């Protein structure tokens, strides 16, 4: 790993700002392109120590789709994750509405890997483990990582100059993978549309009286959404989104009271629950960059879009962005095109933006009509959930979406 400041004389084809899971996966894909030869620098202000073994314990976890698994395999990051104790596969998903106490009741929706002919529906993995595995894959593939914060970018026709806390460097293309408060998006003036959900998502780990059965449990509670995600340790991770004041009261409550409220919200599906970690919370907002690209600049992951976490789609969409951008850049470099040219980057934007917006809108509707509900429209949507739940034919397209296999997929995310 290079941690020396990049001097002005160093010219990179691509500089990625942000070494979260999406930026690091993009880097790992770019250094493995069939066209080869791309010089890639990744800047990360909070760079973890890559020499330390991966620690699976994490309060912040992701449900990775099948498409994400394939992208991570292509990026060379999967083998570091597929070790005992890091990944937990889940084989079923039960989604049930607030009026039903039972996840297998009439009005619920169940996806079963066996019914779909799949080994599982996906994997639960910690944020830190995913970030470490993707960063390590980038470095192993020949990428340069630098602990530095981006401060400014000077755009010129022939290239870019980036000013960072560690010095200056030149590039043909800068990719903003720097999360929801993207500095690249701001400097490049790509705009931002934001909507505050006025909710917090509480995350914590719990030990349950009954085993989690390698199942992801999700209940629309009438005041938000509660997900119980199975961990390799046998514990479950909760993601509980609620109106802000209610969430703050729960965060301040003693652990036993919190656990008792949690058990009520989960309708006792895993029996009694015991809090075995700290509680953390995240404010929820929807963010959309009206433009993902301009000459010599592109956005990926949360820098381009933040969606409601109720279906665990954020990092999955970001990994598809990374794979799509890598594919577009591969084709461009094979044709001898400039990777920073707007006509090249627009291919990526046209490919990913509408899919991301479609998902964000669907999640808005789930949040409005299923998580909260209470009106006549919501009852119709709840009935619709039950109808889909009873028909294997109707369930299939929803399952394809959950597996991340719907829409126009990048090559590396397609079925082998």
Closer residue to ligand FAD, CB minimum distance, 44 or 330: 44
Closest approach of Cβ 387 to ligand FAD, in Å? Answer: 26
Closer residue to ligand FAD, CB minimum distance, 100 or 219: 219
Where are any strands of DSSP class E within 60-209? 61-64, 88-90, 92-96, 109-112, 122-126, 144-147, 150-155, 160-164, 167-176, 193-208
Query: Which span (11-19, 33-41, 214-222, 360-368) binds ligand FAD, by CB under 6 A?
Result: 11-19
The residue to which tokens 């991770």 are assigned? 237
Closer residue to ligand FAD, CB minimum distance, 65 or 333: 65
195 binds ligand FAD per the rule CB under 6 A:
no
What's the rounded Cα separation, in Å, for the pair 197 and 199?
5
Closest approach of Cβ 33 to ligand FAD, in Å? Answer: 20
The string over 67-99, giving b where at least 16 C-beta atoms fall within 10 Å of a residue's C-beta and e elsewhere, is bbbbbbbbbbbbebbeeeebbbbbbbbbbbbbe
Task: Provide, for the chain, the percentages of residues in helix, strand and coil under a 3-state DSSP scheme, each rounded to the nearest 5.
Answer: 35, 25, 35
What's the rounded Cα separation, in Å, for the pair 164 and 169?
8
Of 77, 315, 402, 413, which lies in the binding site for ligand FAD, with binding defined by CB under 6 A? 315
Residue in 342, 356, 355, 340 with CA at minimum distance from that of residue 302: 356
325 binds ligand FAD per the rule CB under 6 A:
no
Residue in 115, 118, 111, 119 with CA at minimum distance from that of residue 398: 111
**Interface with ligand FAD in residues 134-153 (CB under 6 A):** 149-150
CA distances (Å), origin 127, targets 54, 134, 209, 303: 11, 11, 26, 17
Closer residue to ligand FAD, CB minimum distance, 74 or 100: 74
386: three-class secondary structure by DSSP: helix
How many other C-beta atoms can be found within 10 angstroms of the C-beta atom of residue 142? Answer: 12
The sign of the torsion formed by the CA atoms of 57, 58, 59, 64 equals negative
Query: Which span (17-25, 30-38, 135-143, 206-214) binds ligand FAD, by CB under 6 A?
Result: 17-25
201 binds ligand FAD per the rule CB under 6 A:
yes
Could you give the residue ranges of the DSSP H alpha helices within 112-243? Answer: 113-116, 127-140, 183-187
CB neighbour class for 376 (10 Å; exposed up to 12, middle 13-18, buried from 19)? exposed
Output the six-digit token pair for 99. Answer: 């009026």
178 binds ligand FAD per the rule CB under 6 A:
yes
**Interface with ligand FAD in residues 62-121 (CB under 6 A):** 62-63
Output the six-digit token pair for 46. Answer: 């909070």
Query: Which span (14-22, 90-98, 257-265, 362-370) binds ligand FAD, by CB under 6 A?
Result: 14-22
239 binds ligand FAD per the rule CB under 6 A:
yes
Per-residue mark of binding to ligand FAD, 279-308 (x: CB under 6 A): ---x------------------xx------
By the 8 A CB rule, do 63 and 111 touch?
Answer: no
Of 203, 231, 263, 298, which lies in the binding site for ligand FAD, with binding defined by CB under 6 A? 203
**Interface with ligand FAD in residues 19-58 (CB under 6 A):** 19-23, 43-46
Name the closest residue to ligand FAD (Cβ): 20
Closest approach of Cβ 375 to ligand FAD, in Å? Answer: 26
Query: Which span (18-26, 155-163, 249-257, 369-377) binds ligand FAD, by CB under 6 A?
Result: 18-26
The residue to which tokens 């879009």 are assigned? 305
Of 107, 122, 143, 179, which lies in the binding site for ligand FAD, with binding defined by CB under 6 A? 179
Closer residue to ligand FAD, CB minimum distance, 186 or 295: 186
Closest approach of Cβ 396 to ligand FAD, in Å? Answer: 22
Query: Which span (13-21, 135-143, 245-253, 386-394) binds ligand FAD, by CB under 6 A?
Result: 13-21
**Interface with ligand FAD in residues 348-407 (CB under 6 A):** none
Closer residue to ligand FAD, CB minimum distance, 261 or 338: 261
Closer residue to ligand FAD, CB minimum distance, 176 or 339: 176
Residues that bind ligand FAD (CB under 6 A): 17-23, 43-46, 62-63, 149-150, 177-179, 183, 201, 203, 239, 282, 301-302, 309, 312-316, 318
């Amino acid at each position: 790993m290079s941690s020396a400041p990049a001097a002005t004389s160093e010219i990179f084809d691509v500089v990625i700002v942000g070494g979260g899971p999406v930026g690091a996966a993009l880097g790992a894909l770019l250094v493995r392109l069939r066209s080869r030869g791309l010089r890639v620098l990744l800047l990360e202000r909070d760079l973890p120590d890559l020499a330390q073994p991966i620690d699976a314990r994490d309060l912040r976890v992701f449900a990775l789709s099948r498409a994400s698994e394939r992208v991570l395999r292509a990026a060379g990051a999967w083998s570091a994750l597929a070790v005992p104790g890091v990944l937990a596969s889940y084989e079923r998903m039960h989604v049930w509405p607030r009026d039903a106490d039972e996840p297998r009741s009439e009005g619920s929706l169940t996806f079963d890997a066996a019914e779909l002919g799949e080994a599982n529906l996906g994997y639960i993995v910690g944020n830190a483990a995913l970030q470490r595995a993707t960063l390590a894959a980038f470095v192993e593939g020949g990428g340069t990582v630098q602990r530095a914060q981006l401060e400014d970018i000077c755009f010129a026709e022939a290239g870019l100059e980036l000013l960072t806390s560690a010095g200056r460097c030149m590039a043909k293309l800068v990719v903003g993978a720097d999360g929801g408060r993207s500095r690249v998006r701001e400097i490049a003036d790509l705009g931002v549309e934001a909507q505050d959900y006025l909710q917090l998502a509480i995350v914590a780990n719990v030990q349950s009286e009954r085993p989690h059965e390698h199942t992801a449990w999700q209940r629309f509670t009438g005041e938000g959404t509660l997900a119980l995600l199975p961990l390799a340790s046998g514990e479950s991770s909760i993601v509980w989104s609620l109106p802000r004041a209610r969430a703050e009261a729960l965060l301040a409550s003693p652990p036993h009271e919190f656990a008792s409220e949690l058990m009520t919200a989960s309708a006792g599906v895993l029996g009694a629950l015991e809090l075995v970690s700290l509680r953390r919370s995240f404010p929820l907002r929807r963010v959309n960059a009206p433009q993902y690209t301009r000459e010599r600049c592109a956005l990926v992951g949360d820098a381009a879009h933040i969606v409601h976490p109720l279906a665990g789609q954020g990092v999955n969409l970001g990994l598809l962005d990374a794979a799509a951008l890598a594919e577009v850049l591969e084709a461009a470099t094979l044709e001898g095109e400039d990777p920073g040219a707007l006509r090249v980057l627009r291919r990526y934007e046209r490919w990913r933006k509408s899919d991301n917006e479609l998902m964000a809108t669907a999640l808005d509707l789930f949040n409005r009509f299923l998580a909260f509900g209470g009106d006549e429209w919501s009852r119709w949507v709840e009935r619709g959930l039950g109808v889909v739940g009873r028909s294997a034919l109707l369930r299939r397209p929803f399952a394809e979406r959950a597996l991340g296999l719907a829409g126009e997929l990048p090559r590396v995310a397609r079925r082998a």
